[in-house]
Amino acid sequence: MPESFDFLHQRLKSLVAEHAFRSLRSVPLSGQQPSAGADSKAAAKPLVNFGSNDYLGLAAKRFLSQAAPAHGSGASPLVCGYSDDQKHLCQLIARLEQTEAAVLFPSGYAACSGAAATLPQAGDLILSDQLNHASLIDGCRLSAAEKIIYPHRDTDAVENLLATHRQRYKNVWIITDSVFGMDGVLAPLPQLCDLADRYDAILLVDEAHATGVLGHDGSGATAHLDVKSRVAIRIGTLSKAIGAHGGFVAGPQVVIDYLINFCRPLIFSTAASPLAIVAAIDGVQAIGDQPHLRKLVRAHARSVRIAIGLNHQPATESEIPIIPVMIGGNEQTLGIAYRAAQAGFFIPAIRPPTVPQGTSRLRISISASHTQPQIDELIGFLKTEMKVEDPIGKGF
């Protein structure tokens, strides 16, 4: 047994040299009560959180009623972990997505990886966007289908692949995020739908960063781009705009039944806790009952983009609450993130392997819970950084 694990130490040393080493840390954030073990000095200066995916601010406002469940789920949904609340949540999701049915997963990662691994079969072909989320990538790797990665958002490449390979496979699956979480841009869903129709392919879309935010009804990018009825299978998360925890797949009843019977991440995982399910029910209902929240977060996102010169993007992307500020180098990105913390903001520095080499960035996440003064202060900080002349600031 290699007790020293030198081979692991060497890999970690290389990350340190590249300013790419990551560690878990507790960040004091405004609006949160410090935990019992929190460092008193760190807790004394809470930061305005511009790193969360809590787009509607529901997680930040969440409180527990006295009637909230105080027990765990205890087993997988197929054993005894399924409840009336889960059934109700599935019905709410199916209604929001306008699909026949929906099924819950313990996380968004499990939903994406499970669906991508289970639905495409041996003898099928998967066409997967180059910058899909890791959960979709891992699911595709586990699938028995053949896989081809196409260049990011390149519909010409997808069409060439379909024209070349379609006749050789029983089914072809086009798998993509709807909103790419590190770039804040949309997949070309209308064009992909056209190609799926023309070549009899199946489109599977992950709406993780779009559910609750985009679309007239808050159901996501498929509604935002008016292709909802053309995308049969949609994946989502309960942990971003919905403000709870878990994931889901929505689609035809036969797809949901197949996942229930064959999807290993669903079958062999303990169901989400009853507490998370109740919170998710509240979150899904809020999407319909509180449309002012998505209007507010989209207005905030639009004002930040315009203020820092990102108003050249297509109108369909101008209100996405993920705003990347491209830096390039790891050290420079860390330096600006540090200065943001000194100014009172938590803005995460995103580095490889989360993003490709040479594309390190600040990833600003906007929420309806941000106040207008906080948005204005963020804009002021970013404008100041754009004028900084020292080496750490270059690359903005």
For residue 73, being part of any structural domain is answered with: no
Domain co-membership, 250 together with 179: yes
Give pLDDT, residue 37: 45
Which residue carries 């053949």 as its tokens?
146
Give pLDDT, residue 395: 38
What 339-343 contacts at long range (C-beta under 8 Å, 24+ apart), as own/partner pairs, is 339/385, 339/392, 340/50, 340/381, 341/47, 343/377, 343/381
For residue 89, being part of any structural domain is answered with: yes
Number of domains composing the chain? 2
For residue 305, being part of any structural domain is answered with: yes
Tell me which of 25 and 90 has the higher pLDDT: 90
One-letter amino acid of 138: D
For residue 137, being part of any structural domain is answered with: yes
Q: Report how far residue 261's alpha carbon sits from residue 372's, in angstroms, rounded to the nearest whole number.
A: 48
Last residue of a domain, one of 264, 287, 310: 287
pLDDT at residue 76 greater than cutoff 60? yes
Q: Report how far residue 29's alpha carbon sits from residue 38's, in angstroms, rounded to the nearest whole number.
A: 12
Q: Angle 134-142/108-118 helices, nearest 10 degrees?
A: 30
Give pLDDT, residue 62: 60
Tell me which of 124 and 18 has the higher pLDDT: 124
Last residue of a domain, one of 287, 309, 326: 287
For residue 64, being part of any structural domain is answered with: no
Q: Report how far residue 109's alpha carbon sits from residue 160's, in angstroms, rounded to the nearest whole number.
A: 30
Give pLDDT, residue 337: 95
For residue 4, being part of any structural domain is answered with: no
Q: Around Cβ 98, how many Cβ atoms within 10 Å? A: 14
Helix ranges, 200-269 (H): 221-224, 253-262, 264-267
Last residue of a domain, one of 235, 257, 287: 287
Domain co-membership, 276 together with 248: yes
Backbone phi, then psi, for 94, in 5-degree steps? -60, -35
Q: Report how far residue 307's alpha carbon sits from residue 107's, in angstroms, rounded to the nearest whole number.
A: 35
Count how many residues are written for the chain: 396
For residue 29, being part of any structural domain is answered with: yes
Domain co-membership, 340 together with 219: no
Check residue 173 and give left, alpha or beta (phi > 0: left; psi -120 to 50: alpha).
beta
Percent of the chain with pLDDT over 90: 76
For residue 230, being part of any structural domain is answered with: yes
Domain co-membership, 165 together with 305: no
- Poorest-confidence range of 16-25, 110-119, 247-256, 287-296? 16-25
CA distances, 298 to each of 304, 326, 369, 392 (Å)? 10, 21, 12, 31
Model confidence pLDDT, tens digit, residues 298-338: 999 999 999 988 766 787 889 999 999 999 999 999 999 99
pTM, rounded to two decimals: 0.89
| Interval 376-394 mean pLDDT | 72
The token duo for 283 is: 């979150």
**Tell me, what CATH number does 141's domain have?**
3.40.640.10
Give burial (CB, 10 Å; 0-12/13-18/19+) of 307. Answer: middle
| Interval 209-229 mean pLDDT | 97
pLDDT at residue 75 greater than cutoff 80? no
Tell me if 208 sits within 8 A of 133, measured CB to CB: yes
| Interval 88-101 mean pLDDT | 98
Among candidates 55, 47, 45, 42, which has minimal Cα distance to 30?
Answer: 47
Domain co-membership, 89 together with 52: no
Domain co-membership, 204 together with 251: yes
Q: Which domain holds residue 312?
A: 25-57+290-388
Domain co-membership, 294 together with 281: no
pLDDT at residue 208 greater than cutoff 60? yes
Give pLDDT, residue 394: 39
